[in-house]
Amino acid sequence: MNIFLGQKARHKDLYKGKETLKIVGIRENEVLLEGDFSDGTHNVKQESWVPKKGLITQNIWGDWIDNNNSIDFTKNAGPRDV
């Protein structure tokens, strides 16, 4: 899986993979995600390190890809999808 700083991502363990976050840090087995972790619409900016396992990334066409290269894992993400 190719990941890069600034890439939009989701994680299966965070809000069932339906919250779009941004990758702002990369380690060997973890990524630092930035976004609203408040479980609401508080519009706060927070960061958290999460394992790469469970990461869902967005490719250049806007398709969401999970670790098994399965497209459309979270096709209907809802209003927070950007």
Q: Is residue 30 part of a domain?
A: yes
Q: Is residue 2 part of a domain?
A: no
Q: Is residue 3 part of a domain?
A: no
pLDDT of 45 over the 70 cut: yes
Q: Is residue 59 part of a domain?
A: yes
d(CA 81, CA 26): 22
Q: For the ranges 15-19, 30-34, 37-41, 56-60, which has the lowest average pLDDT?
A: 37-41
Q: Is residue 41 part of a domain?
A: yes
pLDDT at res. 67: 65
The proportion of the chain whose per-residue pLDDT surpasses 70, expressed as a percent, equals 73
Q: What is the 3-state secondary structure (H, E, C) of 21-61?
A: EEEEEECCCEEEEEECCCCCCCCCCEEEEEECCCEEEECCC
40: containing domain: 8-65
Q: Can you say whether residue 62 is alpha, beta or left, with left for phi > 0 and alpha for psi between -120 and 50 degrees?
A: left
| Tally of domains in the chain | 1
Q: Is residue 23 part of a domain?
A: yes
Q: pLDDT-based confidence at 77, cuts 50/70/90?
A: very low
Prediction pTM value: 0.74
